[in-house]
């Protein structure tokens, strides 16, 4: 009986299913859910966290991540020296190099507001990326990370540190500055005492002993030269600066005005200058041959050099004609200085480094003349062939040459 009932019920149910009519229309969407807790929507923390009420979709758009031109900036940035160069790998497994060479070490330095450099060792690291200059998640926009003053340590005795304060350029100079912990000082002895080259040590008996072939505080001296500082200033000469310095002083020119000019320049389907490529010089022929063109889009800004440059980019011939009395003269002076330094046995022509080591120190008397060697490296490393501050560059060279010829 029980079994029969079960069977009948089963048939009834089957019958019901078989007789079911068409499905009704879908119900209404439910009410929008509550916003998640401030800054915790993502459920994870990315680099320096998320700003309260940050809307991810302002920048990250499903299917097409180009809002705020992110993907476009990324393409440009692929061409930047930061990405193309290999020096970033120096930041791996190194406590002292991570700060400026990899994003991870940079984040550590940023947390201390750049007062000292990174101290941790990073096994895995990445090139300086979007999150070095920007802090989009913590700030919710694309302003740059550091806009207040940054200290640039001096490596000339008696000269105070430079407080560099030129708007968005401050972010660039968090890395493009001397190294706080440069090994230079520890390997240089003035009259037997560890220290920096000194313009006042002019007596015949004053000596400087250099025990490193790297007689310089590191490569990024652009902030210094832009401000007309950082070179070895021999006493008795004047050191004027170019108009670029006047503008930087009044915060009317930034690194980005020249280095991130728009529009971007495209050669062989690759961005070679302008925008986030950070580049000015480029090759019109291919993407890897020597530079023969200059992107002057930034130079042509209103009130700057508009009448001299008729196109956004000019050939180096036109550019060097414009700079005939400047860049050409500077290059000649640099060549003369190199010849003199090599002849004195202070500079190794093959390596382009000081002819010195811990076992074979270079001793120079009177000590102050070593300033010529210091200036040679300073001007080589500023990277613009004087363009950043032509007058200061030439003045340093003139003084160095005159002192070496004495
Ligand atoms: C102000 C713009 C902005 C906002 C708003 C924003 N992001 Fe980002 N986010 C970026 C940028 C820029 C990058 C780096 C993009 C790249 O590398 O191509 C990035 C990268 C990321 C990455 C790493 C992806 C990768 O490719 O490495 C994650 C994950 C991420 N964001 C999550 C979020 C989340 C979650 C939110 C919301 C809580 C959010 N973002 C809001 C700008 C933003
Ligand atoms: C995280 C530190 C860091 C920041 C911030 C930074 N740079 Fe750099 N920059 C470097 C390093 C390191 C290199 C060398 C890369 C290489 O050769 O592999 C470099 C290289 C460059 C180069 C190419 C130099 C060459 O010899 O090819 C340019 C141009 C440049 N930076 C401009 C800028 C500008 C402009 C800014 C600011 C908008 C900036 N950088 C911010 C670390 C930084
Ligand atoms: C204060 C930031 C900073 C620190 C710390 C730092 N660097 Fe650099 N380094 C830079 C910048 C900026 C450049 C690129 C300068 C340029 O191209 O004008 C650079 C360039 C270089 C280059 C490329 C030079 C060239 O012309 O090819 C090498 C190699 C290098 N650094 C090695 C190191 C090593 C090794 C350490 C650690 C012992 C170190 N750096 C620490 C900022 C730094
Ligand atoms: C070397 C430093 C540096 C790096 C790295 C960098 N930016 Fe920028 N970016 C800047 C500067 C400087 C500005 C102009 C900011 C200003 O004027 O306040 C800027 C502006 C922007 C803007 C605003 C629009 C514009 O172009 O003016 C966006 C979007 C942007 N960056 C995205 C990115 C993304 C995405 C990445 C990574 C692929 C990135 N940036 C990497 C320096 C950098
Ligand atoms: C007045 C315009 C101007 C300003 C401002 C400026 N630069 Fe330059 N910079 C140049 C020019 C021009 C060159 C030479 C470009 C070339 O030969 O490719 C150059 C070269 C460089 C180089 C070497 C590039 C290479 O490819 O070898 C670096 C690195 C650099 N600048 C960084 C900076 C930084 C960092 C700042 C801000 C502190 C800055 N510059 C400010 C115009 C400028």
**Residue 383 Cβ < 6 Å to ligand 3:** yes
Please name the residue whose Cα sits nearest to atom 13 of ligand 5: 384
Spatial contact of 155 and 184, defined as CB atoms under 8 Å apart: yes
Cα separation, 206 vs 202, in Å, equals 6
> What is the CA(276)–ligand 4 centre distance, in A?
7
More confident call, 275 vs 302: 275
| 58, 65, 136: residue to mutate for ligand 1 pocket, most atoms within 8 A of CB | 136
Q: So what's the pLDDT on residue 199?
A: 98
Show the CA angle centred on residue 131, arms to residues 125 and 137, nearest 5°.
Answer: 130
Taking alpha carbons only, the member of 132, 173, 128 closest to residue 150 is 173
Between the CA of 354 and the centroid of ligand 4 the distance, in Å, is 38
Q: Answer yes or no: is pLDDT of 233 > 60.
A: yes
Tens-place pLDDT, residues 41-99: 556 667 788 888 888 888 887 776 666 678 889 999 999 999 999 999 999 999 889 99
Would you state the pLDDT for residue 225?
A: 98
Model pLDDT, residue 268? 87
Which one, of 80, 86, 113, 78, lies nearest residue 102 by Cα? 86
Compute the residue count for the chain.
Answer: 406
Please write the tens of the pLDDT for every residue from 111-128: 999 998 999 999 999 999
Q: Which atom of ligand 2 is nearest to the CA of 101?
A: 12
- Whether pLDDT at 259 is above 50: yes
**Which residues, in sequence order, are CB contacts of 354 under 8 Å at separation 6+?**
210, 212, 213, 214, 215, 346, 347, 348, 362, 373
pLDDT attached to residue 14: 41
Name the average pLDDT for the chain: 87
338 C-alpha vs ligand 1 centroid, how far in Å?
48
Residue whose Cα lies nearest atom 41 of ligand 1: it is 56
Question: Other CB atoms closer than 10 Å to residue 400's CB: what's the count?
Answer: 29
With 70 as the cut, is the pLDDT of residue 406 above it? yes
Mutate which of 47, 80, 81, 298 for ligand 2? The one with the most ligand atoms within 8 Å of its CB, which is: 81
In the prediction, which pLDDT does 320 show? 59
pLDDT in tens, 181-197: 887 889 999 999 999 99
Q: What is the mean pLDDT of residues 239-252?
A: 96
- State how far the Cα of 204 lies from the Cα of 216, in Å rounded to an integer: 24
Per cent of the chain over pLDDT 90 is 66
Average pLDDT over residues 232-261: 96
Query: What is the pLDDT averaged over residues 249-272?
Result: 94
Q: Looking at per-residue confidence, does 40 or 185 come out higher? A: 185
Q: Output 229 or 285, whichever has higher pLDDT.
A: 229
- In ligand 1, the atom with minimum distance to the C-alpha of 139 is 1
Q: Is the pLDDT of residue 288 over 80?
A: no
Residue 218 CA to ligand 2 center (angstroms) comes to 13
- pLDDT at position 343 is 98
Ligand 5 neighbours, Cβ below 6 Å, are: 81, 169, 172-173, 176, 222-223, 226, 244, 253, 255, 257-259, 280-281, 291, 383-384, 387-388
77 lines ligand 1 (CB under 6 A): no
- pLDDT confidence band for 300 (50 / 70 / 90): confident
């Amino acid at each position: 009986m029980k079994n029969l009932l079960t069977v009948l019920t089963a048939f009834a149910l089957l019958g019901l299913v078989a007789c079911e009519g068409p499905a009704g229309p879908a119900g209404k969407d439910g009410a929008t859910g509550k916003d998640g807790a401030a800054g915790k929507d993502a459920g994870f923390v990315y680099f320096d966290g998320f700003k309260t009420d940050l809307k991810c979709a302002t920048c990250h758009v499903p299917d097409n991540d180009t809002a705020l031109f992110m993907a476009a900036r990324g393409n440009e940035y692929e061409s930047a020296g930061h990405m193309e160069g290999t020096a970033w790998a120096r930041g791996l497994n190194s406590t002292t190099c991570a700060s400026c060479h990899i994003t991870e070490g940079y984040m550590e330095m940023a947390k201390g507001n750049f007062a000292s450099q990174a101290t941790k060792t990073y096994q895995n690291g990445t090139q300086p990326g979007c999150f070095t200059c920007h802090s989009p998640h913590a700030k919710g926009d694309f302003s740059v990370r550091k806009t207040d003053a940054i200290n640039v340590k001096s490596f000339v005795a008696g000269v105070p540190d430079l407080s560099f304060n030129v708007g968005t350029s401050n972010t660039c100079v968090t890395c493009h500055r001397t190294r706080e912990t440069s090994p230079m000082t520890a390997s240089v002895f003035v009259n037997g005492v560890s220290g920096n080259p000194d313009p006042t040590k002019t007596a015949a008996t004053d000596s400087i002993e250099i025990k490193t072939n790297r007689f310089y505080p590191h490569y990024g001296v652009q902030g210094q030269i832009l401000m007309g500082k950082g070179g070895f200033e021999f006493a008795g000469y004047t050191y004027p600066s170019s108009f670029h310095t006047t503008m930087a002083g009044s915060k009317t020119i930034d690194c980005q005005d020249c280095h991130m000019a728009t529009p971007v320049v495209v050669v062989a389907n690759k961005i070679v200058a302008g925008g986030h490529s950070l580049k000015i010089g480029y090759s019109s022929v291919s993407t890897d041959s020597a530079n023969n063109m200059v992107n002057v889009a930034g130079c042509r800004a209103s009130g700057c050099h508009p009448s001299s440059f008729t196109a956004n980019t000019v050939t180096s011939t036109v550019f060097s004609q414009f700079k005939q009395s400047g860049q050409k003269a500077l290059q000649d002076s640099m060549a003369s200085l190199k010849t003199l330094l090599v002849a004195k046995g202070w500079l190794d022509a093959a390596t382009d480094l000081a002819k010195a080591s811990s076992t074979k120190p270079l001793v120079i008397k009177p000590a102050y003349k070593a300033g010529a060697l210091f200036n040679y490296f300073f001007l080589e490393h500023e990277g613009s062939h004087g363009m950043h501050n032509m007058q200061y560059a030439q003045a340093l060279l003139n003084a160095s040459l005159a002192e070496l010829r004495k």
